[in-house]
Structure 1
């Protein structure tokens, strides 16, 4: 035990620009996650993003403690967050899935995504229950080999190293796998109809695309660092990249905040709070009654039917779908038009007539909207899908 104390005393405490940058990102990330948990609904996409942020911050807090040498004060927790590294990409993917598919994440359906982290935790049980000498040597091996090592109890079982030595490749596999899944998800959403709203600065598609880019950049960084460092000495570089990412994310979230609206405290927003409705109510009314197929439909008329005001309906559609009112209505019209273009009951109607039957006032309006939301003309759609 005297040897352990001697080594502890020799481990330097390091505070430099890299450590300060990492600490900024960790504190900001924890704060952002706290705000998200406080404000977001439990099963919402943004709540899952909060969990992803929390996982990342716990991992990089470990990196920060190791890099600065502060880990020596809690050496029992060295490498305790390794399994969380294998949860970073799954939680980001869960966020994208919920955001783009508008479906909740359930353990019954998504349990296979937890197998790799669980497998790693089980494989490292012997390490996590090992004496302090083993964990100190693991830390010294990664950051301070020049200080030497301490003696460990005779006969200690190091079989956990068979898996631990492959940890880097497990991380790269996880990043590559979820990069592909996320890319497929974004491409699938694009094919279903990629629309954006001029009323919001950053829509869900842009945010999703940026998340996939982050996946790729981080995976490429990991690969380069793994090629140039034999131990954990390059982890602080990843930590600094994470800090930049967290602050960019904070910027995008703040950009959409009502706090920056010129009239955010005006009476009309107080009215919004008093006349708020659920999106499910709006969706049920629009879809079940096919109110969207009326040519004279307007934001004001929909609001009157629901007993609220236009601002409420507009903001509700923006926040739930990432589109404006016109795109929201046109998407439903196009979906109905696609059914009627292939339905034998409507084969006697011209393409223009079908467009009018779903709510478009002119042929050009129908063609433009159809191509925007499907990527092809009505005629091309019929030719491709009719047997």
Structure 2
């Protein structure tokens, strides 16, 4: 049959290419030292394999590549396992214990697929047209070996859905207990990195089982799989967007100076990720920078980490010193007070004191350096509607 190229085919093929490139990005260089990044790289490659098979079937190129029929079927058992690994690694800085056990269904299906892959091309041709072109005639064929000795292949969609629901449940459980541990409501509107980001990621992935069920109930055989492929492609595009616009989600390259400074440090990348998450949550929930006597040793003690490791995380992961970070947080808080109607009666020196500055002149200097204007100018612009 003639190839069918339409908008779905183009979108899916571009998603394949994008997924391969993203997978390579997260699995190479210093980025690959982070468990979350490694997992994300494997997610992109698994997604690419799955939707490439859909692309071949949907466009009729499968007629020219019968040898590859169902080659990506084992990835059905990675579609939810790997996202669960990513959620766990983002929250804890490491993979879950006994993570290899979660991959046993994938490994089993890889071995079980051998029975399928050794079938004749005529058999694979019949299988393909049964799923995608039932109007065509079958070819005579001979079994080489049993293609489904355990009679499992007819239940692959059911097993896939069960796997997805189980691992979405496990992912939601991890996120819920992380919020609870930090004494935050699960549906808080406050942006707490990485908790709210990971929560929203899981919610986004919850679309998959709903679309999966809808497609399988609406279409016979695999005729609607291009819709599933389009959704997975959307996940790849969304990851690309986050990589470009929210790089704080992922490990960034260290500067040469910082690498030299901390080249003898015992801090691993996973431990660095954990410290960074604890710091961000503590800053957003407790606001310790409002204390005028806060120091790096005090902050490290409250986070239960070493002062040296905290300093390394600030320099390597945020590109800031402790004093730069405190100034940034305090000025952001001051901007809120300067534009809050309930605090318009406060004088500039009173605001400086409330955000942790003992000296009004130091507050003015920091505010001008960070915002490019004085506190009085900032408030005046707000009152004039210029902000």
Q: Deviations over 1:57-89 (max 9, x none)?
A: 111111111111112222111001111111121
**Inter-partner Cα distance in structure 2 for 1:318 and 1:187:** 27
**Inter-partner Cα distance in structure 2 for 1:124 and 1:242:** 23
The residue that corresponds to 1:314 in the other structure is 314
Q: Does 1:38 align with 2:28?
A: yes
Q: Note closer, same or farther for the CA distance 1:60–1:306 as it changes in structure 2 (3 Å cut).
A: same
**Inter-partner Cα distance in structure 1 for 2:11 and 2:121:** 30
Q: Does 1:188 align with 2:185?
A: no
**Inter-partner Cα distance in structure 1 for 2:182 and 2:135:** 58
Alignment of 1:124-143 (within 5 A): 124-143=113-132
Match of 1:298 among 295, 312, 320: 295
Moved over 6 A (4+): 300-303, 305-310
Deviation at 1:254, TM superposition (A): 1.1
8 Å contact kept, 2:39–2:86: yes
Give the paired residue count.
289
Q: Note closer, same or farther for the CA distance 1:306–1:166 as it changes in structure 2 (3 Å cut).
A: closer
Q: Note closer, same or farther for the CA distance 1:18–1:191 as it changes in structure 2 (3 Å cut).
A: same
Deviation at 1:16, TM superposition (A): 0.3
Q: Note closer, same or farther for the CA distance 1:76–1:270 as it changes in structure 2 (3 Å cut).
A: closer
Q: Does 1:78 align with 2:65?
A: no
Deviation at 1:207, TM superposition (A): 2.8
Match of 2:40 among 13, 37, 49: 49
Normalising to structure 2: TM-score of the pair?
Answer: 0.65
Q: Note closer, same or farther for the CA distance 1:22–1:297 as it changes in structure 2 (3 Å cut).
A: same
8 Å contact kept, 2:120–2:144: no
Q: Note closer, same or farther for the CA distance 1:308–1:97 as it changes in structure 2 (3 Å cut).
A: closer
Deviation at 1:42, TM superposition (A): 3.8
Q: Note closer, same or farther for the CA distance 1:68–1:86 as it changes in structure 2 (3 Å cut).
A: same
Deviation at 1:255, TM superposition (A): 1.5
Q: Does 1:144 align with 2:141?
A: no
Alignment of 1:53-132 (within 5 A): 53-105=44-96, 109-132=98-121
Q: Does 1:280 align with 2:263?
A: no
Alignment of 1:209-248 (within 5 A): 209-248=199-238
Q: Note closer, same or farther for the CA distance 1:95–1:148 as it changes in structure 2 (3 Å cut).
A: same
Q: Note closer, same or farther for the CA distance 1:218–1:274 as it changes in structure 2 (3 Å cut).
A: same
Q: Which runs of 5+ in 2 are unaligned?
A: 185-190, 276-287, 301-305, 327-355, 357-387
Q: Deviations over 1:279-334 (max 9, x none)?
A: 83998x9xxxxxx9x9944359989x978997x65354659xxxx977xxxxxxxx
Q: Note closer, same or farther for the CA distance 1:269–1:133 as it changes in structure 2 (3 Å cut).
A: closer
Local SS of the residue matching 2:267 = helix
Deviation at 1:125, TM superposition (A): 3.0
8 Å contact kept, 1:124–1:160: no
Normalising to structure 1: TM-score of the pair?
Answer: 0.65
Q: Deviations over 1:337-365 (max 9, x none)?
A: xxxxxxxxxxxxxxxxxxxxxxxx9xxxx
Q: Which runs of 5+ in 1 are unaligned?
A: 1-10, 196-200, 259-263, 286-291, 327-360, 362-387
**Inter-partner Cα distance in structure 2 for 1:225 and 1:298:** 57
